[in-house]
């Protein structure tokens, strides 16, 4: 066995080690697999009110009074003990320039979609979105959202002072170009709480994440 | 050989065409449900009515300012008759024969006065297309025995010169507005002002009805929900700390590893050969 041969073997060993490390690191950084997608689909199709068979009912008649705003209970606080989140919830809408969800600028706060259902709505998806992080403020309230597992508990406080418990049933990741936002911003279907943040690969040029991470919870 | 080949091709083509036609027939049918959602608006002041559809009483003692429906009606033509409540259909004071109801539409039929005060029925097709996230649709309909009107929100004209049996509409920011109606081109308020809650993702239809001369101008409102769209996206991070792609250095490491492996094997092979 020559010195040359030993050197070559060492190089091979180093090469194999480098490949292994790279492969392991790649696997570790891959998005965690979706869980509970079927449950979310089922919830979207649920009709909570008893529609029943439609026999020829008498035509409903009402006074044509001017509409007044419906009673809505906005969420004001969110606690997720499993990932150490205690955040203020702000009522937010749409960014008029982009047509996108107006996530609160402060990354330690999260935003509730005020056009969608509130906490007492009999149906539909209560949506709360928060930053995963920010280039200027660091980690956001939802930095660890992807660590949530089925069965984890959340607590949402409403403007009525009442705290409501939820249980995680699903965690899904979608490319932003493919996410079925209709389903997550639905005002019908089963009662649910939808938490959304960013995830997946980060494009340093556009400073945008490729994916959205979505966690769905139901009243516990 | 040639013949049978072309026959096969022809048969295949016919089969493909049949399959295509079959699929087309199957998928085309449910896309246009042959029903219409029909609402009724009573805008004739002072007279409660009974409404007959094809001779059958559909609404009993329907009062001015009331909205009925929506009712799912099979597409087709209908004879509509209005009587003073309790009177026989033969004594109907307003009839429309062969009113056409198109499948897949959402319609509001308004019984009202024309500009000169005669009763009539106007069928409006409601715009139930989706509104953008954050928006609400306002539809104003003039069904009053009154001159042209302008509709204002917060003192600013949103619709101008709206005349009897016509509508104007716009999608605007959801929220509460102070609305009123003025005589077209003037500041003379004829209806309102009133606070109007324009809920996001809905259409609010406001009808001005009654008679200006008789001093009975008022409004009746109808709301259509479920027209909302989701936001265009949910941008929630620009830091990059949570990025999950393998970083560049990992690719470099993998590349170096591969090179070392290949190079090493080559050198081992040469070493073996020279040892022999």
Fold of the domain built from segment(s) A34-45+72-219: Sortase; Chain: A; (2.40.260)
Residue B117 pLDDT: 96
Please check whether residue B224 touches A, CB under 8 A: no
**What distance in Å separates residue B272's CA from the closest CA in chain A?**
8
Please give the ipTM for the structure prediction: 0.82
A-facing residues of B in 164-183 (CB < 8 A) are 174, 176
The pLDDT assigned to A56 comes to 53
Structure tokens at B266: 């080559």
- Residue in the structure block whose two tokens are 């002002």: B193
Name chain A contacts of B133, Cβ cutoff 8 Å.
94, 99, 115, 185
Measure CA of the first residue to CA of the last residue in chain A; give whole Å: 69
Chain B 100-129, CB below 8 Å of chain A: which residues? none
Residue B248 has pLDDT above 70, yes or no: no
Report yes or no: A28 and B253 within 8 Å, Cβ to Cβ. no
Of A69, A185, A199, the CB nearest to B242: A199
Query: How do beta strands B203-211 and B135-145 pair?
Result: parallel
Question: What pLDDT, on the 0 to 100 scale, is given for residue B26?
Answer: 42
B272 contact A CB<8A: yes
pLDDT band, very low/low/confident/very high, at B268 (cuts 50, 70, 90): low
Query: Best of A3, A13, A31, A66 to disrupt the B interface by mutation (most B CBs within 10 Å)?
Result: A66
What pLDDT shows up at residue A156?
98
Whether omega before B70 lies within 30 degrees of 0, making that bond cis, reads yes
d(CA A182, CA A161): 30
Query: Do residue A59 and residue B251 have CB atoms under 8 angstroms apart?
Result: no
Half-sphere exposure in the Cβ direction for B271 (13 Å, CA): 15
Is A64's CB within 8 Å of B132's CB?
no
Q: B264 and A196 in contact by Cβ < 8 A?
A: no
Q: The tokens of B91 are what?
A: 């004594």
What percent of chain B lies above the pLDDT cut of 90? 75
Kindly state the helix (H) or strand (E) to which residue B18 belongs, with its residue range: helix B2-31
The residues spanned by each domain of chain A are 34-45+72-219
What band does B134 get if pLDDT is binned at 50, 70 and 90?
very high
Is A94 in Cβ contact with B133 (below 8 Å)?
A: yes
Residue with the larger pLDDT of the pair B147 and B23: B147
B248 and A CB contact within 8 Å = no
Q: For residue B20, name the pLDDT band (cuts at 50, 70, 90).
A: very low
DSSP code per residue over chain A: --HHHHHHHHHHHHHHHHHHHHHHHHHHTSPPPPB-HHHHHHHHH---S-------PPPPEEE-PPP-PPP---EEEEEEGGGTEEEEEEEE-B-TTT-SB---SSTTSEEEETTS--TT-SSSEEEEEE-SEETTTEE-TTTTGGG--TT-EEEEEETTS-EEEEEEEEEEEEETTT--HHHHT-SSSS-EEEEEEEEEEEETTTTEEEEEEEEEEEE-
Determine whether the interchain pair B268/A5 forms a contact, defined as Cβ–Cβ distance below 8 Å: yes
Q: How many angstroms separate the CA atoms of B41 and B65, rounded?
A: 7
Residues in chain B with CB shorter than 8 Å from the CB of A187 are 201, 226, 228
**Which stretches of chain A score pLDDT less than 50?**
50-55
- B251 pLDDT band, cuts 50/70/90, is low
Question: Coil, helix or strand for B212?
Answer: coil
Which of the four pLDDT bands, split at 50, 70 and 90, describes residue B13?
very low
Mutate to test the interface with A, among B234, B266, B274 (most CBs of A within 10 A): B234
Residue B116: the pLDDT is: 96
pLDDT at B52: 96
Residue B220 predicted with pLDDT over 90: yes
State the Cα–Cα distance between residues B273 and B276, nearest whole angstrom: 5
**Does residue B185 come out as left (phi exceeding 0), alpha (psi in the -120 to 50 range) or beta?**
left
pLDDT of residue A142: 97
Predicted local distance difference test score (pLDDT) of residue B2? 45
Find the CB nearest B260 among A18, A137, A187. Answer: A18
Residues A216 and A170 sit within 8 Å (Cβ to Cβ): yes
pLDDT at B270: 65
Taken in order of first residue, the domains within chain B and their CATH numbers are 33-126 (2.60.40), 129-229 (2.60.40)
* CA separation for the pair B140, B151 (Å, rounded): 8
Average pLDDT over chain B, rounded to an integer: 86
- Asked whether residue B156 carries a pLDDT value surpassing 60, the answer given is yes
B16 HSE (CA, 13 A, CB side): 6
Q: Looking at the predicted structure, is the pLDDT value of residue B269 above 70?
A: no
* Span of A136-150, B170-184, B258-272 with lowest mean pLDDT: B258-272
Residue B70: pLDDT band with limits 50, 70, 90: very high
Is B67 touching A (CB cutoff 8 A)?
A: yes
- How many C-beta atoms surround the C-beta of residue B201 within 10 A? 24
């Amino acid at each position: 066995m020559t010195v040359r041969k030993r050197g070559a073997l060492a190089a091979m060993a180093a090469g194999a080690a480098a490949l292994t490390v790279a492969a392991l690191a790649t696997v570790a950084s891959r998005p965690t697999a979706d869980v509970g997608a079927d449950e979310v689909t089922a919830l979207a199709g649920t009709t909570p009110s008893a529609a029943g068979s439609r026999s020829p009912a008498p035509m409903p008649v009402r006074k044509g009074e001017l509409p007044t705003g419906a009673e809505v209970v906005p969420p004001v606080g969110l606690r997720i003990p499993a990932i150490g989140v205690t955040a203020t919830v702000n009522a937010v809408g749409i960014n008029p320039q982009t047509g996108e969800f107006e996530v609160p600028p402060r990354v330690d706060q999260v935003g509730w979609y005020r056009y969608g259902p509130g906490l007492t709505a009999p149906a539909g998806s209560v949506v709360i979105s928060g930053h995963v992080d920010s280039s200027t403020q660091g980690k956001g309230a939802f930095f660890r959202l992807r660590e949530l597992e089925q069965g984890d508990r959340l607590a949402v406080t409403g403007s009525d002072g009442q705290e409501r418990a939820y249980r995680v049933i699903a965690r899904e990741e979608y490319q932003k170009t493919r996410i079925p936002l209709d389903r997550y911003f639905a005002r019908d279907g089963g009662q649910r709480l939808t938490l959304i943040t960013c995830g997946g690969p980060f494009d340093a040029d556009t400073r945008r994440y490729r994916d959205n991470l979505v966690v769905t919870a139901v009243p516990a | 050989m040639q013949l049978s080949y072309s026959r096969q091709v022809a048969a295949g083509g016919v089969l493909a065409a049949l399959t295509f036609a079959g699929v087309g027939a199957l998928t085309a049918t449910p896309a246009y449900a042959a029903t219409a959602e029909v609402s009724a608006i009573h805008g004739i002041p002072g007279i409660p009515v009974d409404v007959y559809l094809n001779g059958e009483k559909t609404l009993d003692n329907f009062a001015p300012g009331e909205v009925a429906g929506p009712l799912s009606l099979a597409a087709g033509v209908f004879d509509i008759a209005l009587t003073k409540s309790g009177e026989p259909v033969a004594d109907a004071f307003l009839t429309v024969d062969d009113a056409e109801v198109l499948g897949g539409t959402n319609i509001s039929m308004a019984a009202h006065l024309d500009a000169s005060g005669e009763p009539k029925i106007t069928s409006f097709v409601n715009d139930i297309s989706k509104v953008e996230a954050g928006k609400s649709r306002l539809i104003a309909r003039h069904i009053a025995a009154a001159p042209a009107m302008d509709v204002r929100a917060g003192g600013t004209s949103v619709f101008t010169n709206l005349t009897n049996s016509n509508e104007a509409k716009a999608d605007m920011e959801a929220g509460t507005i102070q609305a009123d109606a003025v005589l077209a081109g003037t500041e003379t308020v004829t209806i309102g002002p009133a606070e109007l809650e324009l809920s996001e993702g809905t259409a609010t239809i406001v009808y001005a009805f009654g008679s200006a001369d008789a001093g009975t101008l008022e409004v009746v409102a109808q709301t259509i929900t479920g027209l909302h769209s989701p936001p265009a996206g949910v941008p929630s991070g620009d830091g990059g700390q949570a990025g999950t792609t393998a970083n560049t250095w990992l690719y470099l490491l993998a590349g170096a590893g591969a090179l070392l492996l290949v190079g090493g094997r080559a050198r081992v092979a040469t070493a073996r050969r020279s040892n022999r």
